[in-house]
Homo-oligomer: A and B are copies of this chain.
Amino acid sequence: MPSDRLETLMESIDDFARERDWSRFHAPSLLSMSVSIEAAELMEVFQWMSPTESTDSLANPEIRERLSDEVADVLIYLLRLCSVSGVDPIEAASTKLARNRSRHWDR
């Protein structure tokens, strides 16, 4: 049975944290701080750029690599927060999308 890619990633992240005995640091509040810190670094990739310039910047391999790197950091801490909190990220996002869909029906 082929395993789900996201689930496999979440297990790798949990293993990584466990091997380093980081569980004592990984309280939800501290993980949410780290998600926010990494989200700011992600935003920093496009600091001082207009929206159009940010789109154009993706042609630059160095920008793409920084972007990929910062996306990774946000996702890793977000998934670790989900793991310690018992939140299924895919289900959470699907539920939210479905709710937004019903809300925005008339637009």
CB pair B107–A87 under 8 Å, yes or no, is no
Majority DSSP secondary structure for residues of A touching B: helix
CB pair B78–A71 under 8 Å, yes or no, is yes
CB pair B101–A87 under 8 Å, yes or no, is no
Residues of B within 8 A of A95 (CB): 68, 72
A27–B76 Cα distance when bound, in Å, is: 23
Chain A positions within 8 Å of B, measured between CB atoms, are: 2, 4-6, 9, 12-13, 16, 20, 25, 27-30, 32-37, 39-55, 57-58, 64, 67-69, 71-76, 78-79, 81-82, 84-87, 89-90, 92-97, 100-101, 104, 107
Known: A16-B100, A33-B33. 11 other contacts (CB 8 A): A2-B2, A12-B97, A20-B107, A27-B55, A30-B48, A64-B86, A68-B95, A74-B74, A74-B78, A76-B96, A78-B78
